[in-house]
Structure 1
Amino acid sequence: MKKLILTAACCVPAWLVAQVLPSPGAAPAPQAAPASSPAPAASSSSGGGGQSSIFGGLLPHVDGGSETVSWDGKMWNMNNNRIARAKFEIYLATPEANSADDQAYRDLMAQITLLLAPTRAGGPDVSKAFALLPEAGAFQIDGGLCNTIANGVWDVWLAQRKVTNLRQANEAMVKRRRDLEWNTEQGMNSAPLAPSTAGGSTKGTANNRQQAVQQQQNTSMTLGRVSGYIKSIAEIEGRMKLNETAIGLSEVTSKTQFQALMVQLFMQRRFEHAIIACRLYPHMFRDGDSVLQLDDNSDLKKMFSASMGVPPTVSLIDGFAAEAIRGVDEAVVAFEQLVLRQDYDSASKRLMEAYAIGEYLPRIRRLPMVTKLKVLDYVRDGNQLINSLEMRDFGLAEELVKKMRLSSRDFDFSKPLAAIETARTLSDMRLTAARAAAVKGDQTGVAAELKGAAEIWPTNPKLREVSNMIGQNSDVQAQALLDLDRLLSQRNFRQVFNDQGRFLASAINDPVRQEQLKKVLTDMNRVNMVVHAAGEAARNGNSFGAWEAIEREYEQFPDDPEITKMRSELSVKASEFVSAIEKAKQHEQRKQSGSAIAWYLKARRLYPPSEFARNGIQRLVTGLKAGEGDSVGTTGAVNP
């Protein structure tokens, strides 16, 4: 029953909602309940926004502002419903029903309605209208509902025939009861119950006794017949009571069944059929009672009683159905005008509302296909936009928003665009945080930020870029650390210096390697300065000093290619000075101090500021003073 009420609340037009369901803005004024109906129960808070409902939460609460329905603690969007969207799209893609059969069916329905109209000249013709129902029920578009109405009418007539037969039987039993009552009365008064006791002779006494016996026998027979009459009367009374009960039940059952059929047709939005059933009702039940026989605890009974203060009637359904047809006609006219203005957003909403109310009405079924196709693409894009926002595919949603803005003049893009921009901003913030965490080497933070960005916008193209970049950086970092260790073990400090940016980034979280890099970079900076100064000195003609500076660094970094290259070049330019220094070192190593001093002196003569010559002489002189050197020989001595 709750599902039935929910369907009715969602499909009945706005005027019905305004009468049945209260506005969320203010509670309706209480109405005095009639004496014949119980007062409605105290209202309780409904599920939609805490608004008070006069139905105690038994019925759905419709919020016209937000286009939502709150019921049973849950909320539904009347326009954002997958099943409703699918049915509406099917309707837009279906050709209009303008065939000859459809026209014949519409003519039959109109003829039946006119035959049952109270304003028809000569009065309604129920028999002719009833005869046309099976013919209308044979059409596919009818769905057999006219046959259902005809079966309902036939069931009522059978019930009424049964009631007539029962009443005739009761009348016959009443006549029979009267006869039995008269017989009983006559039997009780037919003879005295005791003989006369007047005096007489013995013969007379014998006759009296014989008469008394005969009289007693007659009395017994009379009492037997009377008791049979009384028993028959009691049986007749019982049968009459049973028949009266059956008559009452038959009338109530047939009336309730036909009323249920009317309510069913109304809830199914078959308003034309509901009007036909309502017009047939007073011709089948002439007691003048048109109140719907609803259960006192039913939601529908409480809805009508609480909102209007009166019980629902057949004429109420008739009026609501007629008003629904009129409302659908006006909505279709508004739709056609909005399509002419290219206001496809409003046009699709108005048509969806009209379709939800009067899906089977001729004005909806016969809407031209060319008009419906104008909004079909827009509706499909709108449905796809809703799905993309639900799945957080904001890239596709942005494309659809741009497309719909171009196709419809009244498309309200503010809400979807705000959702898209919010998601983009939040996702970019999480990706920026992920990059920062990656720079710091915080793998846990990187994973958390990437997960948060994926939850906000799973299909964000930047998400894949950042993820790949972080993954590549992790691989590059590992490879860079391996290269650094290899170059350090090979003492290839020049290559470490040349790729210092890559190695510094990879070792940012490794204090040991950072210290190693710091020392290498410091040494290489000094070497570069020495090489640069030596080059300048060589260009200024001081090849001896340039070679000596390079040679000093060569002793510490013999594998450096820059030093090796410069040393080779300067060795050629300062060959005499280089030869003197080398020979002095050789004699010094062989403990030939005199010859070594002679060559150091020659080197100092060639280049007086030479530190190699000065240090060598000081070293040899100190050794001689200590008695460590041999005697000064002439072998290999320098020619003065």
Structure 2
Amino acid sequence: MKRLTFALVLAALCPASAQVLPGSTGVGAPPATTTTNSNNNYNMVPGSASDRQTDTQTGLNNMPMADPGSENVAFNGKLWNVTNNRLMRSRFETYLTTPEANGPEDQAYRDLMAQIMELLAPTHKQAPDPVTKAQARGPEVMKAFALLPEAGAARIDGGLCNAVANAIWDVWTAQKRVNERKLANVAMMDRRKQLEWNAEMGMNATPLANASGPASKNGSKQNNAQTQQNNSATVGRTSGYIKGIAEIEARTKLNEAAMGLSEVTSKIQFQALIIQMFMQRRFEHAVIACRFYPNLFRDGESILQLEKDSDVQKLLSSSFGVPPTVSMIDGLSLEAIRSVDESLVSFENLVARRDVDSASNRLLEAYAVGEYLPRIRRLPMSEKTKVLDFVRKKNKLLSFLEMKDYASAEVVVTELRAASDDFEYAKPLAAIQTAKTMSNLHVNNANAAMGSKDAVAMEKEMRTAAEIWPTNPRVTQLSEQMMQSTDMKSQALMEFDRLLSQRNYRQIFENQAPFIAAVADDLTRKQQLEKVLKDMGRLELILGGAKEMAASSPPAAWEKVEKESKLFPDDPVLSKMRADLGVKASEFVTAIENARQQEEKQQVGSAIAWYLKAKSMHPLSEMARDGIKRLVEQVKNGDEPPSTTPEPTSALNN
């Protein structure tokens, strides 16, 4: 069951293909930052090489396989953490900030769904017979079917009940055609019997003998000619009967083949709808479809007609060891509904105990399994806000660890520890302290190398210390001491080359004064420094504008920062602001990312829809406008991909 639950969660996150998470491949990361097998994964950079380690191909080909000891899922030869990824965090935060679906329209819809399932239950009590006053038990299919269009009209349903109703109508139409063909076969069999009798009578008919006495020679010749004429007429009549019998036989066989094919096709189509509802985690609709099934097909055959060795067939068969049936889907759907209800009861108890960390995990698990179930959608906003701030801080902690900003990460760990009594602070705190210790150790080695005037060793140790902890204040202090050494110019040039090779343009910009003096006589370095200062100055102006814009329009600020992140992917300030704005404008970011993914898959309609949704959130969005324009041009050109132009790059990245 757990394997199947993880498969449903992963299907929700990547409906078409695996979601490749953005990651960094920093060199020299401390061992603590590459530790796996952690439920919270605070000591593993999301999307990094350690988080996407290659695994052997699973036994189910491309079907997800869950690791019972962690939250990792093996998919397409790689390991993915189900809850620790940007898309899942964004969707979960969107859910936490969405008001509960508890209005009159939602309540009416829930009552309809409950009434439909009650009408289809085998234990349903039917209305008493007006004559005998006897009360029968059993499903009332037609009453349940009549309620489906009303439920499908609700906004929260999304028209899925209409899809079930259409599938049922198709089955009934196919069965009606089968009955019509059966009646046609009966009529043709009656006609065939009549033709057989006519043929038999025609073959047994004998011409009347000449009533006169002994015939003369001429009379005998006339009798023979008459007999031959009668035989020819008999053969003519019987050949028409035999031809009619053959035509009836052919039409009967054709109707029988069409009836068998129609029944099998309608059954497979309805089973496909059941599997689709189940894999989409629309468990209520899956239960309704499963309960309609035995009332539509009364042959007692409920085994799902899945393609042999297909992913779904392997998943269900390997999980339970028996051929998958409609009753199995019904039971699994009901178990998923029960599991979600139980998780929410646990969530409420944990919140009352102030165990916010565990409560957020239980709510996330319940949301991932039953995102569309009523218990999830009707959870009061007052309950969800209790974990909203905590979840946001956890997301910030993951972003800080990804950017190796251990000082800010340590502050967030302290805040999380104070907010939740059960927060596992030891793992992230140990990772932070280990990274700090190792960075300071390399700084000490650099100090020793500077004392012995070993420039090569000093540069190596400084580079390693900065790679482990880029914002280490001791690295900055030692750099300043190096600049104040006896040969300040050579030290400045060495520091400039080191920072330039590391693409640490931020530190060059912040400590520009000694570098300006050092490169005054070096034309090549002077041009490089001028380019750095010019680009970083422009970046600072953009960051300042984005910071002011964030208060009024987070999507606009994020879009401005996102464009610059392609030019300065390694800038920590830009990356930190981009992460913070991504949290504030999570819905807009999700829409843009989904549009990009659909565009890459050449799903033009879906991509345009996502771009339009992003544009509705931020009407002045250039990304949405350019995306829509690009896709419209593609449609005008006959769905041919437009000529792509390379992404703008900064000369600093060359």
- Match for residue 367 of structure 2? 355
Structure 1 residues 52, 72: closer, same or farther in 2, change over 3 A? closer
- Match for residue 292 of structure 1? 304
Contact 1:115–1:126 under 8 Å retained in 2: yes
- Match for residue 188 of structure 1? 203
After superposition, where does 1:458-537 map in structure 2 within 5 Å?
458-473=470-485, 475-476=487-488
In structure 2, C-alpha distance between the alignment counterparts of 1:89 and 1:158, rounded to whole Å: 45
2:262 corresponds to which of 231, 236, 250: 250
Contact 2:188–2:252 under 8 Å retained in 1: yes
- Kindly indicate whether residue 156 of structure 2 is the aligned counterpart of residue 141 of structure 1: yes
Structure 1 residues 369, 9: closer, same or farther in 2, change over 3 A? closer
After superposition, where does 1:185-584 map in structure 2 within 5 Å?
185-191=200-206, 204-473=216-485, 475-476=487-488
In structure 2, C-alpha distance between the alignment counterparts of 1:322 and 1:4, rounded to whole Å: 14
Amino acid at match of 1:69: V
- Kindly indicate whether residue 142 of structure 2 is the aligned counterpart of residue 130 of structure 1: no
Contact 1:5–1:299 under 8 Å retained in 2: no
Amino acid at match of 2:396: Q
| Structure 1 residue 56: Cα displacement | 5.5
| Structure 1 residue 238: Cα displacement | 1.4
- Kindly indicate whether residue 97 of structure 2 is the aligned counterpart of residue 85 of structure 1: no
In structure 2, C-alpha distance between the alignment counterparts of 1:5 and 1:366, rounded to whole Å: 22
| Structure 1 residue 395: Cα displacement | 1.6
Structure 1 residues 109, 211: closer, same or farther in 2, change over 3 A? same
| Structure 1 residue 437: Cα displacement | 2.8
2:166 corresponds to which of 119, 133, 151: 151
Structure 1 residues 48, 178: closer, same or farther in 2, change over 3 A? farther
Cα-to-partner distance string for 1:217-276 (whole Å, 9 max, x where unaligned) = 221122122222222222221111111111111111111111111111111111111111
Indicate the structure (1 or 2) with the bigger Cα radius of gyration.
1
Amino acid at match of 1:381: K
In structure 2, C-alpha distance between the alignment counterparts of 1:470 and 1:99, rounded to whole Å: 67
Amino acid at match of 2:226: Q
In structure 2, C-alpha distance between the alignment counterparts of 1:331 and 1:171, rounded to whole Å: 58
Amino acid at match of 2:145: F
In structure 2, C-alpha distance between the alignment counterparts of 1:400 and 1:317, rounded to whole Å: 44
Cα-to-partner distance string for 1:415-446 (whole Å, 9 max, x where unaligned) = 11111111111111222222333333333333
Amino acid at match of 2:173: L
Cα-to-partner distance string for 1:569-614 (whole Å, 9 max, x where unaligned) = xxxxxxxxxxxxxxxxxxxxxxxxxxxxxxxxxxxxxxxxxxxxxx
| Structure 1 residue 162: Cα displacement | 1.1
In structure 2, the gaps of 5 or more residues are 13-51, 127-137, 492-654
- Match for residue 66 of structure 1? 70
Structure 1 residues 319, 106: closer, same or farther in 2, change over 3 A? same
In structure 1, C-alpha distance between the alignment counterparts of 2:481 and 2:360, rounded to whole Å: 46
Determine helix, strand or coil for the equivalent of 2:175: helix
In structure 2, C-alpha distance between the alignment counterparts of 1:9 and 1:264, rounded to whole Å: 14
- Kindly indicate whether residue 187 of structure 2 is the aligned counterpart of residue 175 of structure 1: no
Cα-to-partner distance string for 1:313-363 (whole Å, 9 max, x where unaligned) = 111111111111111111111100100111000000000111111111111
- Match for residue 113 of structure 2? 109
In structure 2, C-alpha distance between the alignment counterparts of 1:237 and 1:463, rounded to whole Å: 94
Determine helix, strand or coil for the equivalent of 2:156: helix
> Bigger CA drift: 153-162 or 203-212?
203-212
In structure 2, C-alpha distance between the alignment counterparts of 1:465 and 1:221, rounded to whole Å: 122
Determine helix, strand or coil for the equivalent of 1:141: coil
Contact 1:48–1:69 under 8 Å retained in 2: no
| Structure 1 residue 141: Cα displacement | 0.5
Determine helix, strand or coil for the equivalent of 1:218: helix
Amino acid at match of 1:120: H
In structure 2, C-alpha distance between the alignment counterparts of 1:5 and 1:95, rounded to whole Å: 26
Structure 1 residues 79, 9: closer, same or farther in 2, change over 3 A? closer
Contact 1:385–1:397 under 8 Å retained in 2: yes
Determine helix, strand or coil for the equivalent of 1:70: strand
| Structure 1 residue 11: Cα displacement | 7.6
Amino acid at match of 1:321: S
In structure 2, C-alpha distance between the alignment counterparts of 1:75 and 1:383, rounded to whole Å: 20
Amino acid at match of 1:352: L
In structure 2, C-alpha distance between the alignment counterparts of 1:239 and 1:290, rounded to whole Å: 31
Contact 1:159–1:254 under 8 Å retained in 2: yes
- Match for residue 548 of structure 2? none
In structure 2, C-alpha distance between the alignment counterparts of 1:171 and 1:4, rounded to whole Å: 49
| Structure 1 residue 62: Cα displacement | 1.3
| Structure 1 residue 280: Cα displacement | 0.8
Contact 1:5–1:300 under 8 Å retained in 2: no
Amino acid at match of 1:110: A
- Kindly indicate whether residue 124 of structure 2 is the aligned counterpart of residue 120 of structure 1: yes
- Match for residue 43 of structure 1? none
- Match for residue 103 of structure 2? 99
| Structure 1 residue 215: Cα displacement | 1.6
In structure 1, C-alpha distance between the alignment counterparts of 2:452 and 2:358, rounded to whole Å: 53
- Match for residue 485 of structure 1? none
Determine helix, strand or coil for the equivalent of 1:342: coil
2:180 corresponds to which of 162, 165, 186: 165
| Structure 1 residue 9: Cα displacement | 6.4
| Structure 1 residue 477: Cα displacement | 7.3
In structure 1, C-alpha distance between the alignment counterparts of 2:55 and 2:460, rounded to whole Å: 37
Determine helix, strand or coil for the equivalent of 2:339: helix
Structure 1 residues 217, 367: closer, same or farther in 2, change over 3 A? same
Cα-to-partner distance string for 1:371-414 (whole Å, 9 max, x where unaligned) = 11010000011111112212222122111101100000000012
Contact 1:405–1:413 under 8 Å retained in 2: yes
In structure 2, C-alpha distance between the alignment counterparts of 1:462 and 1:79, rounded to whole Å: 35
In structure 1, C-alpha distance between the alignment counterparts of 2:375 and 2:190, rounded to whole Å: 60
Cα-to-partner distance string for 1:67-116 (whole Å, 9 max, x where unaligned) = 21123321011221211111111111111111111111111111111111
Amino acid at match of 2:122: P
Determine helix, strand or coil for the equivalent of 1:76: strand
> Bigger CA drift: 85-94 or 469-478?
469-478
Amino acid at match of 2:370: G
Contact 1:187–1:222 under 8 Å retained in 2: yes
- Match for residue 8 of structure 1? 8
| Structure 1 residue 4: Cα displacement | 11
In structure 2, C-alpha distance between the alignment counterparts of 1:433 and 1:371, rounded to whole Å: 52
Structure 1 residues 307, 477: closer, same or farther in 2, change over 3 A? closer
Contact 1:5–1:59 under 8 Å retained in 2: no
Amino acid at match of 2:114: A
In structure 2, C-alpha distance between the alignment counterparts of 1:217 and 1:462, rounded to whole Å: 124
| Structure 1 residue 57: Cα displacement | 5.0
Structure 1 residues 210, 424: closer, same or farther in 2, change over 3 A? same
Determine helix, strand or coil for the equivalent of 2:116: helix
Contact 1:434–1:446 under 8 Å retained in 2: yes
Contact 1:325–1:361 under 8 Å retained in 2: yes
| Structure 1 residue 48: Cα displacement | 9.6
TM-score (norm. length: structure 2): 0.63
Structure with greater contact order relative to length (CA < 8 Å, sep ≥ 6)? 2
| Structure 1 residue 473: Cα displacement | 2.5
In structure 2, C-alpha distance between the alignment counterparts of 1:5 and 1:375, rounded to whole Å: 23
Structure 1 residues 80, 478: closer, same or farther in 2, change over 3 A? closer
Determine helix, strand or coil for the equivalent of 1:142: coil
Contact 1:339–1:347 under 8 Å retained in 2: yes
TM-score (norm. length: structure 1): 0.64
